Structure 1
Amino acid sequence: MVATIVSPRIMRIGGGAVAQVAEVLGTLGLKHPLVVTDPFMVSSGLARRVLDALAAAGIAAPVFSDTVSDPTDTVVEAGVAALAQAGAVDCLIGFGGGSPIDTAKAIAILAAGGGRMRDWKVPRTADLAALPVVAIPTTAGTGSEATRFTVITDTERDEKMLIAGLAALPLAAIVDYELTYSVPPRTTADTGIDSLTHALEAYVSKRANPYSDTLARRAMALIARNLRTAYAEPHNATAREAMMLGATLAGLAFSNSSVALVHGMSRPIGAHFHVAHGLSNAMLLPAVTAFSLPAALPRYAEAARAMGIAHEDEGDQAAAARLVEELRALNRDLAVPTPRSYGLDADRWRALMPTMAEQALASGSPANNPRVPTKEEIMALYEQVWAG
């Protein structure tokens, strides 16, 4: 097979790397950024880490800080308007979790192509951006700093839209694990399982290739060995660094392979019930993995070995069984709730299952799964996940 590989042109990775943001911009010939972030990054003072580094280089950057968790088309439209008002801007800096980075990507796409955000969802390819994006993540989870994807909610249709193309690929990424020290345990857990899901789905995807396999295996090893420590010891530098690198490698892996059924089923949960993306992935991961095992047993077994939960000489059936049990144990150890214990409405959940199943299939992600489900099988999985 011939694989097409894409990645940011520059990646600065390591503790304190955010201080080099002006140097990265200068290397790329950029001088006038608009910083896209969220209200917490501003109120907590964390945004000063990038703004002060820019100011030290004589760059006064305007800020758009109206992004929201699970970014919406209306926020993207507001960002395009802010971009127009900012004057001479030659790049966007997405600073924060996946939501500000995804918003910055979507602003660049909508500003270039016009129309409405829904006009750019898959299967259409978004390859033209108005401006390049420099991504600086503050969580170890989404991998958005390294991917050619962004996910935006259509507020009129309650639909999370997958938007894909070179326009969504950051020109540069600055990956500084020290920015994650203040991330609370719940977010550490959810974004950590999100990144593990990225790596595992990239590895078992029908679109996997030798390049993505290498990244996915290393990402799974880093995340599986360090997530519990990062959750329990927020200032453990070794664990935080490993999680940040694992999340970025997982992002590169699925950007050059794909995600699959977990993500396809997760997006509708976020759209209809406003559950954080990483958390909805965590709710789904054990059940969807158990459903998918028979179609790719050797792959799942190898994932278990990469994660260090199965011996190299252990048979595929036993190793894959260990993987499912480990995913269940991880959810228990990280206090991942079921949809029911999270407080979602049972009647609404069941009433929306047909719609969520249809939206999952329409996203295209389930088609990459080793075992491609029917609508009825997805509904059955939603019912299984509800009960826990």
Structure 2
Amino acid sequence: MASIINLPRILRVGAGASAELVTTLTELGLSRPLLVTDPFMRECGYSDRIQSPLSEAGIACGLFGDCVPDPTTESVYAALEVCRAGEYDCVVALGGGSSLDTAKAVAVLAVHGGVMRDYKVPHQVNSGLPVIAIPTTAGTGSEATRVAVITDTQTQEKMLCMGLGMMPVAALVDFELTLSMPYRLTADTGIDSFCHAMEAFVSRKSNPFTDSVALTAMRTIYQNIQTACAEPDNRQAREAMMLAATQGGIAFANASVTLIHGMSRPIGALFHVPHGLSNAMLLPEVTAWSVGAAAQRYAECARYIGVAEASNADALACEKLVDALRALTRNLQVPGPATWGITERDWFDSLTLMATQALDSGSPANNPRIPDTGEIISLYERIW
């Protein structure tokens, strides 16, 4: 069976790519953008940096600057009101995954109406306003995916929404926008990218196209993440991490994530843990639980990133991979749920709900070892 590969129509990658928005709009025949971003991007001047060339070119640009972390339906609907009040022909998303996902949701709702829950998987929405993505974190890969994750404000469920209508038509991937990222954000979004790549590689939906991209992204992240955290001005490490984040996005958008992401979303929705951090909490233990079901694939990951020798048997390579991931999260000071501030009672009272939401997302079904509710609960207990 042929694999279906979806990518942005335009990818501009490298230093200064974000300054080419006017050119990109012209190439796409667009002339009235709505910029969707967050308060930090406004405060640090990044939104002005994007809007100034538009003004100089005579392009009127609207602004919604109140995106929130882990976007909620309430935040999306506020942005949608701004969009509907203007005659915008596209949405420009500036920021991390939250701003990009908000923009994608607005782009779909502006064309099709309804509420966000209407677009939760398995529903597929294949059209919307064009989205131009300008990522400022090296993590989510959302600039190259047809996915948005939106938390229902009423139920606190993190809804996975998918379809070509959420695939950006263009992505301006400029690593210089990541030079101001603090340590914790660099570490957590970097691990998020690593999860994207590794999950895509071991996914039941993996394919030859995504395999090569995923392996490259994994090795790049593993070799550069600690340098990027320790030396925030290291341009070589920052550039490597930004490119790998986009590659990770391409990989999982076309092969799917697995159990880590399935279990991660409920943690974020219920306890407001940043998405990358909840993935980091889960990465070593979920991998340890899964490796036996796809030893050859996980062993290839271990060899490719350099933590196992070519001569190592698959079982040994898998063991070295798990050890390396435990060491990586330890070295990057990834907190556990308790250290983050979640109470033991709240965590254990939520186990069944988290397991149900994880399974409902569909992602665990792509895992090499497919869990049932009880096994997911046991993993949450182990992670505590």
TM-score, with length taken from structure 1: 0.98
2:273 to 272, 275, 288: 275
Q: Counterpart of 2:93 in 1: which secondary structure? A: strand
- Give me the whole-angstrom Cα distance separating, in 2, the residues matched to 1:14 and 1:312: 33
- Alpha carbons 1:18, 1:49 under 8 Å: kept: no
Distance 1:347 1:356 in 2: 14
Kindly provide the amino acid, as one letter, of the partner of residue 90 in structure 1.
D
Counterpart in the other structure of 2:60: 60
Deviations 1:13-42 (A, max 9, x none): 001111111101111111110000001100
* Number of the residue aligned with 1:32: 32
1:146 corresponds to 2:134: no
Quote the Cα distance in structure 2 between the aligned partners of 1:303 and 1:71: 32
CA RMSD between the two structures: 0.8
Task: Give 5+ residue unaligned stretches, structure 2.
Answer: none
- The equivalent residue for 1:204 is 202
1:304-323 map, 5 Å: 304-323=302-321
1:84 partnered with 2:84: yes
Q: Which residue of 2 aligns with 1:194?
A: 192
For residue 46 of structure 2, give the secondary structure of its aligned residue in structure 1. Answer: coil
Out of 282, 285, 299, which is 2:283 matched to? 285
- Is the 1:106–1:168 contact (alpha carbons within 8 Å) kept by the matching residues of 2? yes
Q: Secondary structure at the match of 1:35?
A: strand
Q: Distance in 1 between matches of 2:186 and 2:59?
A: 32
- SS of structure 2 residue aligned to 1:152: strand
Aligned to 2:97: 98
Residue ranges of structure 1 left out of the alignment (5+ in a row): none
Shift in Å at residue 343 of structure 1? 1.3
Map Cα deviations across residues 307-330 of structure 1 (whole Å, 9 max, x no partner).
Answer: 121122222111111111111111
How far apart are the structure 1 equivalents of 2:176 and 2:125?
A: 32
1:353 offset after TM fit, Å? 0.3
By how many angstroms is 1:378 displaced? 0.3
Deviation at 1:187, TM superposition (A): 0.1
Question: Which residue does 1:331 correspond to in 2?
Answer: 329
Deviations 1:130-180 (A, max 9, x none): x10000000000000000100000011110000010011000000000000
- Aligned-residue offset at 1:184: 0.4
Q: Are residue 74 (structure 1) and residue 74 (structure 2) matched?
A: yes
**Structure 1 residues 235-287: Cα deviation after superposition (integer angstroms, max 9, x where no partner):** 10000000000000000000000000000000000000000000000000100
Matched residues in 2 for 1:43 and 1:98: separation? 18
Aligned to 1:123: 122
Alignment-derived partner of residue 345 in structure 2: 347
Please give the secondary structure, in 2, of the residue aligned with 1:296: helix
**One-letter amino acid of the counterpart of residue 28, structure 1:** L
The one of 259, 262, 265 equivalent to 2:263 is 265
Q: Name the structure 2 match of 1:176.
A: 174
Say whether the 8 Å CA contact 1:269–1:280 is kept in structure 2. Answer: yes
Please give the secondary structure, in 1, of the residue aligned with 2:149: strand
- Residue 32 of structure 1 aligns with an amino acid whose one-letter code is R
Identity percentage of aligned residues: 56
- Residue by residue over 1:299-348, the C-alpha shift from the partner in whole angstroms, topping out at 9 and shown as x without a partner, is 00001112121122222111111111111111111110000111101101
Divergent runs of 4+, >4 A: none
> CA separation in 2, counterparts of 1:282 and 1:289?
11
* Residue identity in the other structure for 1:104: A
How far the C-alpha of 1:85 sits from its partner, in A, is: 1.0
Deviation at 1:224, TM superposition (A): 0.6
Residue 93 of structure 1 aligns with an amino acid whose one-letter code is: V
Q: How many residues align?
A: 384
CA contact (8 A) 1:192 1:223 kept: yes
- Find the counterpart in structure 2 of residue 229 from structure 1: 227
C-alpha contact (below 8 Å) 1:212/1:256 kept by paired residues: yes
Q: Answer yes or no: is 1:135 the counterpart of 2:130.
A: no
Instruction: Report the equivalent of 1:23.
Output: 23
Matched residue of 2:52: which SS? Answer: helix
